[in-house]
Amino acid sequence: MKTLAEMIGEEFVLQTVHQLLNEEHPVIVTKLMAVDEGGIWVEGRGLAKFMAETFKQTVPKMPVFFVPYAQIVWILNNADYPHLYEKGLGLQ
């Protein structure tokens, strides 16, 4: 299983305790940019969209924001091995 540091630069699914900005729910697909002692830095796609719509102009660079570990409910990423469906293999 990968550590967070090994996931830097990869997309993943993140659920936070609270909604991020004006997202409809606290689950987002984002990219992990960095890992700190107190939390993670993620790509702010929702923030970029919100700023573009609010200020009626494009955002020149992708914003990133910090999510403290205490605000993370779960993180979903893929393992580095194939999924074996037991029933399909006749094992169940």
Model pLDDT for residues 64-83, shown as the tens digit of each residue: 889 999 999 999 887 766 66
Cut 0.75: pTM above it: no
Classify residue 55: in a domain, yes or no: yes
16/71 Cα distance (integer angstroms): 5
Report d(CA 76, CA 90) in Å as an integer.
Answer: 28
d(CA 65, CA 53) in angstroms, rounded, equals 19
Residue 44: inside a domain: yes
Nearest to 44 by CA among 25, 24, 29, 26: 29
Q: How many domains does the chain have?
A: 1
Q: Does 52 fall in a domain?
A: yes
Residue 92 covered by a domain: no
Mean pLDDT over 8-30 rounds to: 79
The reported pLDDT for the residue numbered 88 is 61
Contact 28, 12 (CB under 8 A): no
* CATH number of the domain to which 15 belongs: 2.30.30
pLDDT tens digit sequence for 29-55? 889 999 999 999 998 887 788 778 888
Q: Which domain holds residue 23?
A: 5-76
